[in-house]
Structure 1
């Protein structure tokens, strides 16, 4: 007897899917086929089976590596670049790699996030238009048979945005579980205190210096919360600690494990799958060489350029959006109601923030350039 089960989002939560397949096998439902387009799983009734299931994504399909086969893993179903394997052994010490699944789901998240952003722009405009009508501003709704298309567009836009958040959340959990992305938390029992730092990624050299000085005063960073704005410290003995900020447009799956294996402690990493802002720490002895992620001057200049480029793009976008909103506010003819006046005042006040960020970015570049000149003179 063939039984079919529909799981539309199985590939974005492979761990849950693997557990589900193992539970199905315990009930004697053995996987026989999977349709990638319809997202349908096919099972046949058979003998009860206690097995560990794993899902592999590999662009270069072929036989299982010898190490996996010798450990008891066997292929169950292959569909496209996906391979479903199982292992009935009682003790399993070697498991398939997760890198293929991570890279594939990262790519999907990039694409769907872009689509979600593109949908969010017209949806925001539609929401503002409807809100103005609900608040009693002049205007009206014109009857049209095309409203059904508008409604369908809004529904697919909302669905795309929800899907983007779902994939991001699942991908984040997957990275934490398998790729050592979880920050290293100091487990000292002393009472902690917090300090606020906003916009530090636009002047990372100042943050590195500040954290190192805090450590020499006996204030040790234990964690960073509030999306990277609240720094929590615990009082202890004075210590030399090198703090390094690292920005990468995207990171390799082994990025965190490699740095941790060389003694670096992960203090913070942004939740974005791309545009990773990461803060590393490493203690060192008095008179010793200050640890760095790289001592190569070319690589360090490249890091400065990446930070400048990305921060410049982000700040330019924010400035452009604010300037456009201000232009609309000053040029569109409408009644200056108290609400509109408040919105206009908020936009004007908000334009100060990007100017502050621009100043920090420029000053950071000047400090790095002067530091580079001094290094070449030495």
Structure 2
């Protein structure tokens, strides 16, 4: 029996449960055709089989001895995909296939699938920046809107009229349609990631909420909390120094509020605490465990795909601790941060800059007409420049941090 499952890789947990259900019906998995998205079954005896789908590193062709010892065997394997089966009861299985490579694949897939929607969203945003003022002026009776086949000086007769081609509108509709096509796979990948993390043991650290000190204060103490806005997370060295200076002055970190990035302190005794804001693309359970074993405390995590910041703290008396073993490792992490943010900021900055250049070319192409609508064109230019600044300013902080990291003594 062959069953077509076109989106199976977006529904890993559901597929695993489905394979177990088919085994209970007497259909045992024998092969998978990745190209045609076909699952091939052989009719046999009804069996209670637990399935796990794993995505292994390149070069791995056999199961680990610990998995074989616990009853796991290959139902089939294709490339880096392994379809594992186990006939033991789930509670008797002490070792499970690693989920880390699969989670990493989900992360990479989400990043790649997000690039096109982000690019199209920026283009739509720029179009709306121009369209919305025109609509406002239209309803205020200041101007009119006319659709033409193509824009040219010969066809533009009235300067008070805003001209649009039908192609402009169709491009926006097409972009929205393409974005909609990416919503489902992105949603499924995100849900798959959450489902797989939920099945992992409690050692898999997942901090996505507000940080509150272990010292649970009374309502009166809460009223005495001192609220401070921190330096930008895009300048980790400045934020670390600011937090350490606050502790040295007797302002003990109590709470970090999620969303608005506000830090709350209580007034107490001065402390020597080392703070490190570490950047990671895809932190794993092992990443958090290493820090915990070295007595670091996770104060806060923030970030969305593909960026994840972790704020670590450690009290000390003599030598100031560090999580990096040498300067090269520190610079490499700063470089990774710069490259990750560049992948988002640079294309966006280029698109906005291109739009500004197009507006300037339009302005100088017909000076007399430009003078007639100068206030409106100035508004458009200033609006685009302000949007450009909103992207250039934080990006400059990232590059500045990388430059400081290269020049800083370890």
Q: TM-score range by the shorter chain?
A: 0.7 to 0.9
Residue of structure 1 in register with 2:295 after alignment: 263
Given candidates 317, 320, 326, the residue that maps to 1:290 is 320
1:176 shift after superposition? 7.6
8 Å contact from structure 1 (residues 102, 253) kept in 2: no
1:349 pairs with 2:380? no
> 1:182 — aligned with what?
206
Aligned to 1:113: 114
Q: 1:150 & 1:343 partners in 2: Cα distance?
A: 19
Give, in whole Å, the separation in 2 of the partners of 1:324 and 1:308: 23
Instruction: Specify whether residues 289 and 21 from structure 1 end up closer, same or farther in structure 2 by C-alpha distance, changes over 3 A only.
Output: farther
Structure 1 stretches lacking a partner, 5+ long: none
Which deviations, in whole Å up to 9, do the C-alpha atoms of 1:11-40 show, x marking residues without a partner?
234233323333443454433333322333
Q: Deviations over 1:324-359 (max 9, x none)?
A: 333334443688499876554433434544564466
State which of 260, 270, 275 in structure 2 corresponds to 1:243.
Answer: 275
Contact 2:122 2:348 in 1 (8 A): no
How many pairs were matched up?
364
CA distance in 2, matches of 1:219, 1:318: 39
Cα distance in 2 between the residues matched to 1:52 and 1:301: 45
For normalisation by structure 1, the TM-score amounts to 0.73
In the alignment, the residues of structure 2 paired with residue 61 and residue 268 of structure 1 have an alpha-carbon distance, to the nearest angstrom, of 33
Matches within 5 A, 1:128-139: 137-139=145-147
Question: Which one is further off, 147-156 or 63-72?
Answer: 147-156
1:299 lines up with 2:329 in the alignment: yes
Query: Which residue is equivalent to 1:73?
Result: 72
Say whether residues 1:49 and 2:47 are aligned partners: yes
2:309 counterpart residue number = 278
Q: 1:24 to 1:189 in 2, by over 3 A?
A: farther
In terms of mean alpha carbon deviation, does 47-56 or 151-160 score higher?
151-160
Q: With the length of structure 2 as denominator, give the TM-score of the two structures.
A: 0.68
Task: Indicate conservation of the 8 Å contact 2:277/2:310, yes or no.
Answer: yes
- Secondary structure of the structure 2 residue equivalent to 1:139: strand
Deviation of 1:44 after TM superposition, in Å, equals: 4.8
| Closer, same or farther: CA 298–163 of 1 in aligned 2, 3 Å | same
Over 3 Å counting, the alpha-carbon distance change for 1:81 and 1:323 in structure 2 is closer
CA distance in structure 2 between the aligned counterparts of 1:362 and 1:78, rounded to whole angstroms: 44
Q: Would you say the 8 A contact 1:264–1:280 is kept in 2?
A: no
> Cα offset for 1:293?
0.8
Cα distance, 1:55 vs. partner? 1.1
8 Å contact kept, 2:28–2:42? yes
Q: Secondary structure at the match of 2:311?
A: strand
On the 8 A contact 1:55/1:85 being kept in 2, the answer is: yes
> Which one of 160, 173, 178 corresponds to residue 182 of structure 2?
160
SS of alignment partner, residue 332 of structure 1: helix
Aligned Cα root-mean-square deviation (Å): 4.5
Separation in structure 1 between the aligned mates of residue 291 and residue 274 of structure 2, nearest angstrom: 14
CA contact (8 A) 1:56 1:98 kept: yes
CA distance in 2, matches of 1:342, 1:174: 50
SS of aligned partner of 2:147: coil
Establish whether residue 220 from structure 1 lines up as the match of residue 228 from structure 2: no
* Contact 1:221 1:233 survives alignment (8 Å): yes
- Secondary structure at the residue paired with 2:244? helix
Mark the CA change 1:299 to 1:150 in structure 2 (over 3 Å): closer, same or farther: closer
Question: Displacement of 1:177 after TM fit?
Answer: 6.3
Hey, what's the Cα distance between the residues in 2 that align with 1:151 and 1:23? 42
Q: CA deviation at 1:88?
A: 2.7
Quick one: distance in 1 between partners of 2:258 and 2:199? 19
Unaligned runs of 5+ in 2: 139-143, 151-164, 364-369
Cα distance in 2 between the residues matched to 1:359 and 1:61: 42
**Equivalent residue number for residue 93 of structure 2:** 92
Query: Conserved in 1, the CA contact under 8 Å of 2:124 and 2:172?
Result: no
Q: How far did 1:93 drift?
A: 1.0
Partners of 1:328 and 1:338 in 2: how far apart? 18
Q: How far is the alpha carbon of 1:69 from its aligned partner?
A: 1.4
Aligned to 1:11: 9
TM-superposed CA distance for 1:70, in Å, is 1.3
